[in-house]
Chains A and B, each alone.
Chain A
């Protein structure tokens, strides 16, 4: 749990190859990929970049290239806080399957066991999707900030990064906030 919070970015293999770590009994439990079959699994599909140039393009998918550095830094903090809050708030669903199933059965007494299972799995998938999305966004924001610090990309009107020299036009950021 602590690792997940301190390092909210699950590494390449985690997002590309395995499903979210579930908090179980205070330790991280990795779910095998194909355990749950869902009609519409809320998972993050992401071919993760491996080079600075790829990252510089990837972050544009969430428009982080047009955000000023100060706003991006604030967004990172806020989204990390939200991620922690959301994980903590989802502990019961993820750690006490029987508790949630009892609540589902009380709510929908007309359903059968298989349908209770489906509802529970959908909820887990929704939580998983939310967490993965937050993690992806945080990683993208942090990567954009890193590229700016390095000077790989430069923001019009802001101090240049470490590299100091000019960069090609396609690596100049023009903010719109």
Chain B
């Protein structure tokens, strides 16, 4: 049984895009040739026939293309973009969430739904839903007739299976509705862009600031390709929401970058990968010099039994790195990672609430002699991997919502930290990152507080010093116009774990010189004392004053 915990991460986002007045709305219907007329893309009745007609023409920030659901395309050309959006005003490609083509429906049966569950129960045998369709519970989302802006509803779900009165989703329900007698809105399957030739598939090369929502990408990439491929010039600030990536045949990998000296910054929100091809090919393949930051908020990764998370192309030679903050990712039937060719690589993956159905290690670094760190179905663990050559960190962090562990008046989840004996404050590589929260901060001074408690005073001989347990702010230190610079300010206080089990806080006051993203992080670097557990808890919800 899969167990999902929703761990709230305290950060502010501002993802409601205010489109510029100059933005234009377009329509894409892969099936337009047979159903209506394909044309200039300016109406549902004169839609473009393919994504490339929108993406490969020059567009301006805020332009949006709505793509009809329930249809697929087969193409032989690499998909690329030509223009860039702006930060906060991306160019958008979105599946239809507003019934623009009048092909949505409402379920015949009603359902009982509960937050956190992947199954809905119908009041009678389900007659009008099938795998691949999308649903939302009435009241969670709203359809706007003739919409010209992206529907920001996130509580739409792909149907995984239907059996009798049971409807199963890939992701646990996180909407606002609960109880019985609820209708569902049926949306056709995700529009399916499918490329069947042997070069790069969806190539992100030198294009920044795009938002892709609700699209399925399928491909049979060639020797150097991935389905979603970072290319020359890098690709910054791409968001993929409700995205499905699928491959066939002797494919390479689902998502990757294989071009030197380019950086990618991608965010996947509700990513489903299925299936991953055979041994040697995996989900991610980030190679070559140049930084890669790939964050995932909710992922369902099916590896098919043979595919690993990181493929054989996982070598990042010469100083590149792969960083990822992953939350709520479910790995189904994934194999051990093949990263035996790593040289001076740096992988930094924070995986909170990540679950694997196999006991094979899926986050393995190094050659066969390296002891892997196993991830099992029942282990909710947060792993920090570094480029250690003598092994991997064996510290464990687990999250819990059990009431007895929560801080009175604090947040709904705490982290339990069990440090290892190889931690050392002399180097970041031997330091355990406890958390990182991006927070939109203005220029006022604020005090950031994070609360900790030890499980037992007897679990400690000496308290961690300020260099061994600290929180820090990373923020803009210039007022704009000058050479960009950020400042990191660390806390200087200590906690009395050996003398008290009461909740106590570390605090740091920070005042950015300009508004922007401030990162609040926590680190621990005290090696476990011999004969002592050195176990402690931290409240995941910081208090900002």
Q: How far is the CA of A85 from the CA of B317 in the complex (A)?
A: 25
Tell whether A86 is near chain B: CB-to-CB under 8 Å: yes
| Residues of chain A contacted by B313 (CB below 8 angstroms) | 107-108
| Residues of chain B contacted by A64 (CB below 8 angstroms) | 58
Question: Quick check: A92 and B261 within 8 Å, CB to CB?
Answer: yes
CB under 8 Å from chain A, chain B span 60-83? 60, 76-78, 80, 82-83
Could you list 10 further interchain pairs (A-B, Cβ under 8 angstroms) beyond the known A106-B315, A108-B313, A109-B341? A40-B78, A62-B57, A75-B60, A85-B206, A92-B261, A93-B260, A110-B312, A111-B223, A133-B56, A177-B22
* Min CB gap B66→A, angstroms: 14
Q: Pick the contact of B23 from A103, A123, A177 — CB < 8 Å?
A: A177
| Residues of chain B contacted by A129 (CB below 8 angstroms) | 80
CB under 8 Å from chain A, chain B span 230-284? 231-234, 258-262
| Residues of chain B contacted by A90 (CB below 8 angstroms) | 232-233
* Min CB gap A69→B, angstroms: 11
| Residues of chain B contacted by A62 (CB below 8 angstroms) | 57-58
Question: Quick check: A130 and B77 within 8 Å, CB to CB?
Answer: no
Question: Quick check: A123 and B82 within 8 Å, CB to CB?
Answer: no
Chosen A-B contacts, 26 in total, with CB atoms closer than 8 Å, are: A39-B222, A63-B57, A66-B42, A71-B22, A86-B233, A89-B206, A89-B234, A89-B262, A90-B233, A104-B224, A108-B223, A111-B223, A115-B223, A119-B223, A123-B224, A123-B231, A123-B232, A123-B259, A126-B78, A130-B82, A130-B233, A133-B56, A133-B80, A134-B82, A137-B57, A140-B58
* Min CB gap A142→B, angstroms: 11
Q: Pick the contact of B24 from A66, A93, A103, A126 — CB < 8 Å?
A: A66
Tell whether B386 is near chain A: CB-to-CB under 8 Å: no
Question: Quick check: B232 and A93 within 8 Å, CB to CB?
Answer: yes
4 closest A-B pairs by beta carbon, nearest first, are A137-B58, A62-B57, A119-B224, A177-B22
Q: How far is the CA of A89 from the CA of B84 in the complex (A)?
A: 16
CB under 8 Å from chain B, chain A span 32-67? 38-40, 42, 60-64, 66-67
| Residues of chain A contacted by B233 (CB below 8 angstroms) | 85-86, 89-90, 130
Residues 106-130 of chain A: 1 if any B CB is under 8 Å from the residue's CB, otherwise 0? 1111110001001100110011011
| Residues of chain B contacted by A147 (CB below 8 angstroms) | none
* Min CB gap A42→B, angstroms: 6
* Min CB gap B421→A, angstroms: 35
Q: How far is the CA of A40 from the CA of B40 in the complex (A)?
A: 25
**Which B residue sits closest to A176, measured CB to CB?**
B24
| Residues of chain B contacted by A67 (CB below 8 angstroms) | 22, 24, 60
Tell whether A167 is near chain B: CB-to-CB under 8 Å: no
Q: Pick the contact of A40 from B77, B258, B312 — CB < 8 Å?
A: B77
| Residues of chain B contacted by A89 (CB below 8 angstroms) | 206, 232-234, 261-262
Asked, given contacts A89-B232, A107-B315, A134-B82, whether A75 binds B58 with beta carbons under 8 Å apart, the answer is yes
Main secondary structure of the interface of B (DSSP, over half): loop
Q: How far is the CA of A129 from the CA of B80 in the complex (A)?
A: 10
| Residues of chain A contacted by B223 (CB below 8 angstroms) | 108, 111, 115, 118-119
Q: How far is the CA of A11 from the CA of B24 in the complex (A)?
A: 30
* Min CB gap B300→A, angstroms: 28
Q: Pick the contact of A126 from B60, B205, B288, B341 — CB < 8 Å?
A: B205
Question: Quick check: B58 and A127 within 8 Å, CB to CB?
Answer: no
Q: Which one of B185-193, B195-203, B532-540 is at the interface?
A: B195-203
Tell whether A143 is near chain B: CB-to-CB under 8 Å: no
**Which B residue sits closest to A40, measured CB to CB?**
B199
**Which A residue sits closest to B312, measured CB to CB?**
A110
Tell whether B287 is near chain A: CB-to-CB under 8 Å: yes
**Which A residue sits closest to B223, measured CB to CB?**
A115
* Min CB gap B441→A, angstroms: 29
Tell whether B21 is near chain A: CB-to-CB under 8 Å: yes
| Residues of chain B contacted by A40 (CB below 8 angstroms) | 76-78, 197-199
Tell whether B293 is near chain A: CB-to-CB under 8 Å: no
**Which A residue sits closest to B199, measured CB to CB?**
A40
Question: Quick check: B42 and A63 within 8 Å, CB to CB?
Answer: yes
Tell whether A150 is near chain B: CB-to-CB under 8 Å: no
* Min CB gap B277→A, angstroms: 16
| Residues of chain A contacted by B198 (CB below 8 angstroms) | 39-40
Question: Quick check: B84 and A82 within 8 Å, CB to CB?
Answer: yes
Residues 340-377 of chain B: 1 if any A CB is under 8 Å from the residue's CB, otherwise 0? 01000000000000000000000000000000000000
